[in-house]
Amino acid sequence: MMRNLLAVGVVVMLLGTMAARGAERPNIVMIVADALGWADLACYGNKFNETPNIDRLATEGMKFTQFYALPVCSPTRASIQSGEYPARFGLTAHIPGHWKPFEKLVEPPCALAMPHDVYTLPQALKDAGYATGHFGKWHLGGKGSGPGDFGYDEVFEFVGHAIPGPRVVPPHKGPVRTAEYIGDRAVAFIQKHKAGPFFLHLAHSAVHIPLTTTPELLKKYEAKPKVPGYRSQALYAGVLEEMDTSVGRVLEELKKEGLEEKTIVIFVSDNGGLEREVGGWPGTTNRPLRSEKGTLYEGGIRVPLIVRWPGVTKAGSVSDAMGITVDFYPTLLGAAGVKPKAGYILDGISLAPVLKDPSAKLDREAIYWHYPHYHHSRPSGAIRMGDFKAIEFFDTGDVELYNIKDDLSETKNLAKEMPEKVAELHQKLKAWRHEVDAQMPQANPAYDPKRVDEWWSRAKVEPTEKPGPYHGK
């Protein structure tokens, strides 16, 4: 299947063997947004939000239109760090996940941390002489399983849009905006390691709920005319602009230090946008994509990706190649001239052919998802192969089929019209689950139709409010 241990070799042949000396290897900056939808950036057509720095990155690099993540944050982040589908090690929900004890199915338990036998991307780069730094959200395990335990030399871990003053270095009397502070840390990291090579992983909390922004930005977007067909949230747009400003500072620092032509910059989101949280919070709008984060429809898994790789990507180029977040690992190892660890399974394939030539085809049969959890949808799995996508719902066994090329919004289920295609994709999906030993939900002996809407706390083993209610303005 996709145990692609040859991907790095392909990159080396395409781009030339990288010299062993660190100064000649590219620096890498990976910027990860949190729950930013495919339709939220101006460079993807948004008419309300203002993202000039991210847009600039797109004009200077390549924008992907069919790039995928996993449906929620922890699995996507695990896939970036590991290069593997996280179904291999049971990290299939956001840690620790939700719990609906009276639904039809009992979910398989979600791993509470990324396993330590994962040979992470930062560890591979560190072993090859790269300085490594992580600033921002991790969400892949607590004490003993933080970014510093997986190959990052310099670490600041935080989730939320405002950091309490005592957490800041040096301490502040009051809170500091997260996007600004981790931007400060990123700039300092670049200055410290400008001799290179370095790998900087900058993981923003924007635009995850609960949303806050500065009074100035809130006022700005509240006064801005709404855009028909888009939710036009002032808080959402404000915190997005905060992240964009932080991105701009990083780009400017690279330019200032003469590193712009020596650095690969990647901007991506960890899952689709949140249209409505279960507790009632109205978020963004993913249209024309169907549905939202926490589902396997396009709105939950298709995300923005922008890559600027000087000397490789053409300015202003656009690719419709079908990629997914497990692809970063082999792509970046190849860029650094680093061979994968012997025997280590990589599910991703290198994006280098497409980055060099947008019309190139990737040697890939299919992309897979495994989400056996209740969240914004029901436990399900999915496969995208060519133009077709099948989604299997585990509670009923139903399989939906869509032609994504002709029906981007997934409005027409073709399952009854094309039973042979359904059977083909379903069989491949089941074979993949067997290969990766994906854990499946089971029939729930406590199933109670009258209580299926109850949400419980796993920690306290008691009823709790629906996930994600918003108590702010």
Architecture of the domain whose range is 370-450 = 2-Layer Sandwich (3.30)
| Res 282: pLDDT | 66
3-class SS shares of the chain: helix, strand, coil, % to 5? 30, 20, 50
Delimit the CATH 3.30.1120.10 region(s) of the chain: 370-450
Task: Write the pLDDT tens digit of every residue in 407-453.
Answer: 999 999 999 999 999 999 999 999 999 999 999 999 999 999 999 99
Domain 23-365 sits in CATH 3.50.30.30? no
**Rounded-to-integer distance, Cα 325 and Cα 430, Å:** 21
Residue 72 sits at the vertex; the CA angle it makes with 67 and 78, to the nearest 5 degrees, is 80
- Measured between alpha carbons, how far is 403 from 399 in angstroms, rounded to an integer? 14
Preceding omega of 147 cis (within 30 degrees of 0) = no
Q: Which two tokens stand for residue 415?
A: 């399952």
Domain with CATH 3.40.720.10 in the chain: 23-365
Could you tell me which residue, 5 or 271, shows the higher pLDDT? Answer: 271
**Mean pLDDT score, 397-416:** 98
My answer on whether omega of the bond before 288 falls inside 30° of 0, hence cis, is yes
166 sits in the region (left: phi over 0; alpha: psi -120 to 50; else beta) called: alpha
Q: What are 73-91's pLDDT values in tens digits?
A: 999 999 999 999 999 999 9
Q: Find where tokens 């860029």 sit.
A: 335
Report the C-alpha gap between 93 and 113 in whole angstroms.
Answer: 11
Confidence of residue 468 (pLDDT cuts 50, 70, 90): low
Q: Could you tell me if 394 and 372 are in contact, meaning their C-beta atoms sit under 8 angstroms apart?
A: yes
**Range 261-283 average pLDDT:** 85
pLDDT band at 278 (very low <50, low <70, confident <90, very high): low
Q: Which two tokens stand for residue 470?
A: 């918003």
Q: How many CB atoms lie within 10 A of CB 225?
A: 8
